[in-house]
Amino acid sequence: MKRILFISLLVFVLVSGGVFANAVTGAQYNEPGQINLTGVVGLSGWGLSVGVGAERIMGDLDFIPEFPMEWGLSARGIFSFYLLAGYTGIDYGAAPLATLHKGFNFGNNLEFDFTVGLGLGLYGYSYELLGSPYSESIKLGVASFDSVSWRWKKDLWLTLEYSYVGWNSVYGIGIRKVM
């Protein structure tokens, strides 16, 4: 449910940016051939998570001239670990993704880049509950890495991200470095 709400909000922002183009200017912050490196720390349903990824921007996507976007290819991974009373475990997932970027410039150093990434990924988990271990074999599942990033410095962005691979989902905050 949270994932659907987040994606709906992201779609609303992308569409409303085109509708209210007089107040907000569309912007392109990614160039073909550019590499984006991302690191995120966040919370999953049971504990602390880290996420890493690399993305290559492939080109512009200008099928609506007033609403320019960029697309790319990305490889992302998440790893969660938790330690609660009587319950310990890890979750993990990795996925190749196709990404879509839309930038907005609100003026006064308010530059944002909204990103949606979709693909298929591998995931698994292993845990121990009250002394009984359980491990699940690696499975294939839907993957989605969605974020909004604020340009902090020229090549450094502060990122809020929602990540999902298989059944493992993570909300996090991190940094995106442009190479």
What is the rounded CA–CA span in Å between residue 15 and residue 67?
Answer: 9
Give the H or E element holding residue 24. Answer: none
Residue at 15: amino acid letter: V
For residue 66, give both structure tokens.
């007033």
Strand 139-153 to 132-135 pairing: unpaired
State pLDDT tens for residues 93-146.
999 999 999 999 888 888 999 999 999 999 998 888 777 888 888 999 999 999
Partners of 113 in the β-ladder: 103, 149
What is the rounded CA–CA span in Å between residue 106 and residue 104?
Answer: 6
Q: What is the pLDDT of residue 24?
A: 60
**Rounded-to-5 percentages of helix, strand, coil across the chain:** 10, 70, 20
Q: Domains in the chain and their CATH numbers?
A: 2-178 (2.40.160.20)
Mean pLDDT value of segment 42-64:
87
Q: What is the pLDDT of residue 21?
A: 46
